[in-house]
Every structure is written in C-alpha cells, then in structure tokens.
A and B are shown apart, each in its own frame.
Chain A
Amino acid sequence: MSEEQAFAEVIDKDQRIEPRDWMPDGYRKTMIRQIAQHAHSEIIGMQPEGAWITRAPSLRRKAILLAKVQDEAGHGLYLYSAAETLGADRGDLTRRLIEGRQKYSSIFNYPTLTFADVGVIGWLVDGAAICNQVPLCRSSYGPYARAMIRICKEESFHQRQGYELLMTMMRGTEAQREMVRDAVDRWWWPSLMMFGPPDADSPNTAQSMAWKIKRHTNDELRQRFVDMTVPQAEALGVTLPDPDLRWNAEREHYDFGAIDWSELKRVISGDGPMNAERIARRRQADEDGAWVREAAAAHAAKRTEVRA
C-alpha cells in the first residue's frame, strides 16, 4: 500500500494521524497553521482579561481570574507542544506572531472596558470557543485532538465563572446591570464573528472537512452557538442586541440578523481597536524575557547537566 493510500485509509476509518506518519504537505501545513493560530489566540487572549487582575473587585474574583488567565497560558503551551510534533518550533511561531505573519482570533482585538467584560468574555467568548473546540476533540491529527480534550475540560470552568459573575452583577445595582447590558451589546456580534466567514466565503472548509481537521462548517457552529445562548440570555435577563433574533419553528433554530462581515475583515487585517497594542505587548514580553531565557540556558550549560 502506498503512503497516500495508508493516509487516506486512516482518515477514512476515522482513526488518528500520528506525528511520524506520512501525511500530505498540504495537511501538515494546514495543521501547523491552524494549531499555531489557535495557540496564538490563547496567548494573546491572556491580555484582555489579564488587564483586570489588579482591579478585580474581591479576592475571590481575583483568584478566579488569575486561574483562568493561567489556564489560557497553559492552553497555548499544550498547542505549541502539538505544533512541534509537526516539525514547527515554538520560538519560530512566536516570532511569526510578533511579525504579523501568523494570525490569532479577531475577538481579542476588542478592549475590555469594565469588569462586566470579564463575565461576558467567559460567557460568550469562551462559550463560542467551546462550540468550536468540542468537535476538534475528534480532529484527525492525534496530538491536536488530545490537546483539545484537555482544553475543553478546563474551558467549562471559564464559561461558568463568567456566567456566575454576570448573574451576581444582575442581582446588584442598576449601574451594575447597565454595565452587563453594555458589555453584552459590545461583545455579541464579535462573538458571532469568531466562527469565521460564512460558508460560501470559506474556501478551505471543504478540504479541511475531507481531511477531518474540521468536523462542522462555520455556519453550522455559529447556529449551534446562537441556539445555545439565547435561553442563557433569557435566564440572565439581558436582551441580545439583534432585533431579528427569533425562534423559527419550521427550522427549529433561531433566526438572526445579518453580520457585518466588513468589520471582521477590517479587524483580521489589523485594523481593529486593539491589534497594535496586543502585538506590542506580546513583543515587549518576549523581549523582556530574553535575558531570562539566555541566563537559564547558560546556567544549564555550565552545570552540563543537560547536553547542549
């Protein structure tokens, strides 16, 4: 059996491709790009919420937020680890991120203006991430699928702490409720954009589905997220900012309004409210850490505990 046939048979039988298996160049490239983009999103995703750690309103909220941001770092590292099994190097991937040659999720280019944003990110942004990520636990690339299983287990805490935070604020003062409504208004549409362009405008979807890298289309996942979220909004007592949002008994799904795709294109191409600041911060952290990495390597070499 040829290498191509062996690869096709593994995919066909719904088994996993492992690092040392033969795989088409396109599969390897697509996997590296997808995993790197995902890893970068976790790492950049530490910033919007990290900004609130020093300003959390109680020790409890601060401990929760610290744990969550630490999880994002961990998720990024699980994913860089998976990318390295494909021959990528994490230092090189970080450089590509800093130089703007690889992307991260558009959602992290929006600012976190109030503490309610921390709750809404947990509820909507992590909720959307869970919708995206649960099917990726069955991705055809073994190390990625295994990383996703770990990530999904931890992501559930992220969403629940966000929702609980919002419930607490909704039981508070009118000013607190107004903060929640404002945050929901700002994050709802960007959350829907997290699933990517509509299927008609997503040229890579068909190949990714054939390779079982992707299990559902962007629009399918977006619909699933809307259907899941509307009852949660009702339970919370907030109105999602879409006058066209209503149950369609015939489709047995919620209909929703048109998404402003020009905004997504603008933010992805670098023109979102926070793009420059997010990358500048990541670059600064990388530069600030350089001497530590060098010193640790020099120390290890001196002790010759590890062969250089």
Chain B
Amino acid sequence: MSEIRHEWPLFEVFVRAKRGLNHVHVGSLRAADHAMALHHARDLYTRRNEGVSIWVVRSEDVVASGPDDKDAFFAPSGDKAYRHPTYYSIPDSVPHI
C-alpha cells in the first residue's frame, strides 16, 4: 500500500535568465521523459519571464563532489593567497594597476 513507487524519474532544471548569463540551477521536477521535463520546467519555473532558455538533466546523471571531499578538493587553494591580486603591495602612486 505505502511502498515508494517512483512513477516518473527526477530531473534537475537550469534556467538562463537572459542572454549573457549562465544557466542557473532552480530546482527539480518529475517527468516521464526529457520533452515533458522541458514543458513542465517552462510551466513551473518561468511563469513570469524568468528565463530565455532551459536545460533539464536527469538527476541520476549528475556527478557531484560530496561534503566528505571538501578538504581534498578545496583546502589546497586555501593557502595560496599569492593567487589573488591583493597579495601584492604596490605604492598608491603607481597608476592603473
């Protein structure tokens, strides 16, 4: 009676708000196939001109780093302050730099 039946697969939705901007993740929805996912995404996430283009991706196809990878992935850049322009002191008198 109450076993979980996934009737339709899950899709992640990305919307480009306007030309010149990236597609941004806005949420997910369920649909029978990609074409239906696009239509549902249009109805669900762009009712007020929020977008000019939509991507849908099967959620199970997304490969993501996990919270446990955080240190291995992101800690190495933490001690490389010399990658940032503010690391270098230049006298105020030097123009345009």
Contact = CB atoms under 8 A, between A and B. Distances in A.
Q: Assign chain A's interface to a size class.
A: 35 or more
Contact of A22 (B9, B34, B36, B67): B67
B47 interface: yes
B9 to A, nearest CB: 6
A70 B58 CA distance: 25
Nearest to B8: A297
Contact of A147 (B2, B27, B43): B27
A232 B60 CA distance: 49
A300 B30 CA distance: 13
A91 B5 contact: yes
Interface in A4-62: 18, 20-22
A306 B6 contact: no
Interface string A67-90: 100110010011001101100011
A288 interface: no
A254 to B, nearest CB: 34
B8 A92 contact: no
A182 B47 CA distance: 34
A141 to B, nearest CB: 14
B1 to A, nearest CB: 8
A296 interface: yes
Contacts of A21: 67
A251 interface: no
Interface in B62-87: 64, 66-67
A253 interface: no
A126 B61 CA distance: 38
A225 B27 CA distance: 30
Contacts of A90: 30
A77 B44 contact: yes
A296 B2 contact: no
B44 to A, nearest CB: 6
B32 interface: yes
A95 interface: yes
A266 interface: no
Given A21-B67, A81-B28, A91 B44 contact: no
Given A150-B26, A300-B32, A306-B34, 10 more contacts: A20-B66, A22-B67, A71-B47, A78-B27, A81-B29, A92-B4, A146-B27, A296-B8, A296-B32, A303-B33
Interface of B: 2, 4-10, 26-30, 32-36, 43-44, 47-48, 58, 64, 66-67
13 contacts: A18-B67, A74-B43, A78-B27, A81-B28, A82-B27, A91-B7, A95-B2, A96-B2, A147-B27, A150-B26, A154-B48, A299-B32, A305-B33
